Structure 1
Amino acid sequence: MDVTQRSNRFAWATIGALLLLDLVWMSQTAISVVPLSLVGPLAIGVGAVMLAVYYRVRRQETRLADALDLVGQMTAFMVLGALFSYLVVTPGLPMRDAALDGADRLLGLDWLGYLRWLDGHAWFARILSAAYSSFMPQIILLLVVLPFMGQAQAARVTVFAMIVAGIVTIAISGLVPALSTFAHYGVDLADYPHLRPAAAFIHLPDLLAAHSGRPLHLDLTKAYGIITFPSYHAALGLLALLGAWSNRWLRWPFFLVNILMIVATPIDGGHYFSDVLGGLSVAAGSYLLARRLLVPADSAMRSGEGQLPIGQPTAS
């Protein structure tokens, strides 16, 4: 079985299992969804897969087919992952903000001090906010550029790693629910006029409703990120960096932007520093697992495609 078949089978088996889990779990909760917000993205995902089969089998346009495969997988996973993130907090386990704050203090990290420093360096805060919001354009670039430059293997490993990391971070977030740094520290954004964090309090009504078991009707196309620990945004930053590393045109721009994204995550994402470290750990493990599952050892040694930055990247 080649990497393409292996990737598609693992990805769609994982997505199918997540869909089944979401539907069964949702039936036991007070959460409901706008039907089209779930069915629409899934239909787009399936449609992309069908187009991929057509272009691969009938037209022999494998690079376009690879890109369509990956677009379909990410589209389907993102909507199912969003629903999963709400379901995992419904057991109502105690909020763990105090423990996460304590972990930061043990590491000698001062979130409020970092907030004050960024407010005093507004130019840098704006750069970080732009980097934090850059994930979707980055994903589009990875899904298009890598397959069309003959590096579909790197793209497939990255996308499957993002799926695995998403499921792991969401599952852990249900066991370690938390409000966010802004809520825990009682931050008044009026005291920090130079900051415009992407996520501060906007997610709290949905999070608290799901956590308390109150009825919640979700439009999944507009769902808020309610994960605190571990940070999926930090995980995505590292995975996008790794995914782009094999391409000489994307390597250094992605390295810079994603380092800035990770640095931005505590403030723009309302995350504890321990959330960021947890997300990076999940990302590293997910990437290694994805490579092990999708890429045969002999193929990896021959091509070197998608190697970790500590290895020798390929020239593109």
Structure 2
Amino acid sequence: MLHSDRPTSDAAAWWLLAAMLAACLAAAWGLGFRVDAPRAVPPAAGVALLATGALVGRRRGKPRLAAGSTAFLQMTLFTLLGVVLAYALAARAGALWDARLAAADRALGFDWPAVFAAADRAPVALWIGGLAYHSLTLQMVTCIVAMSAYAQFDRLRVAVAAAILSGFVTILVSWWTPAMGNVFDPAAFRHLWPSIAWLEQAMIAGLRDGTWRTLDLTQLMGIVSFPSYHATLPVILSWAQRDTPGWRYVAPVWAGVTIIATPLFGGHYGVDVLAGLALAPAALAIAPRLVRAGPRGRIALAPVRDLAQVTGVGNDHAIR
């Protein structure tokens, strides 16, 4: 919860993006990656358009346009840098952790063959879960548009900073815990969709053996298994919208469906999801301090006291 009258700043998100860029350049150095230039044009044009919107909004005194465009610009750059950084780190990663992650799941009681079989018998639930899982980008877009429209600028800056911070940490952790994912053969089921982990096996193998080095910036795919960012980001987005008319109830419900669907459609282990959930409150505890630091770096925010305040559960004054 924000308690200071000092204005928030976008600087924290920009510094995080600068750190990601530096990490990306360092990780990719000497690996022979190249960018498919023609396919880099659409994302470059999108970045330019968003930057123009942010500039126009500031110069013409349109704070909603400025805030929304800036948030979209920062999250777009985060996506581009984050995925490329994940690729570069995957190319440098050591032995796969799948055996250890699967063992951790068994120790926690996750019986994935039984879960897959049960899910295959519930096609309607599968469609709902699949739509939720693959709507994460739309959830982010909806959050930014709604918060900009209702002039919730401070909370939007906190959410963006938390999303970038947690995503950056997720990618760095994945370097130490690389995994192919909790893959299953969709041919063995009637209704179960191929998971992202199943579809990305060749890409991850190519990154690791050096045969996959061309970056198509229109087809960037998230390859991180542990922790699951699909478990982190929905919590941050629903937290941000807890006071947004029309979304304060829809966002957390849809976030819950997304998280439940993540093991099936993302090909994640249960521990991936649990780790991703743990990252959300940590990022939301740190982000307010980043966006509202006082003179000489002093913190101008009261601490986020507990998980209920972070997630908005049982606390009408917390921010998502």
Deviations 1:80-138 (A, max 9, x none): 11101101112230001010011111111112211111011121111111111111221
- What is the distance in 1 between the residues matched to 2:174 and 2:16? 19
What is the identity, as a one-letter code, of the residue corresponding to 1:83? V
Deviations 1:121-165 (A, max 9, x none): 121111111111111221111111101102121211111111111
Equivalent residue, structure 2, for 1:270: 267
- What is the distance in 2 between the residues matched to 1:246 and 1:198? 34
Equivalent residue, structure 2, for 1:84: 85
Flag the 1:215–1:146 CA change in 2: closer, same or farther, 3 A. closer
- What is the distance in 2 between the residues matched to 1:244 and 1:226? 28
- What is the distance in 2 between the residues matched to 1:279 and 1:97? 17
Equivalent residue, structure 2, for 1:202: 199
- What is the distance in 1 between the residues matched to 2:212 and 2:123? 40
By how many angstroms is 1:37 displaced?
4.8
- What is the distance in 1 between the residues matched to 2:302 and 2:150? 18
Flag the 1:3–1:209 CA change in 2: closer, same or farther, 3 A. farther
Unaligned 5+ runs, structure 2: 294-298, 304-308
Aligned residues: 304
Equivalent residue, structure 2, for 1:147: 148
Flag the 1:141–1:256 CA change in 2: closer, same or farther, 3 A. same
RMSD over aligned Cα, in angstroms? 2.4
1:49 aligns with 2:46: no
Flag the 1:314–1:228 CA change in 2: closer, same or farther, 3 A. closer
Unaligned 5+ runs, structure 1: none
1:15–1:76 CA contact under 8 A, matched in 2 = yes
TM-score scaled to structure 2, two decimals? 0.87
1:236 aligns with 2:233: yes
Bigger shift: 21-30 or 93-102? 21-30
Deviations 1:231-271 (A, max 9, x none): 11111121111121121311111111110000000010000
Equivalent residue, structure 2, for 1:189: 186
TM-score scaled to structure 1, two decimals? 0.88
- What is the distance in 1 between the residues matched to 2:318 and 2:286? 21
Give 3-state SS (helix, strand or coil) of 2:171's partner: helix
- Show the 5 A alignment for 1:67-106: 67-106=68-107
Flag the 1:314–1:172 CA change in 2: closer, same or farther, 3 A. closer
- Show the 5 A alignment for 1:1-316: 2-4=6-8, 6=9, 8-35=10-37, 37=39, 41=43, 44-56=46-58, 58-182=59-183, 187-295=184-292, 308-310=311-313, 311-313=315-317
- What is the distance in 1 between the residues matched to 2:271 and 2:249? 26
What is the identity, as a one-letter code, of the residue corresponding to 1:221? T
Give 3-state SS (helix, strand or coil) of 1:250's partner: coil
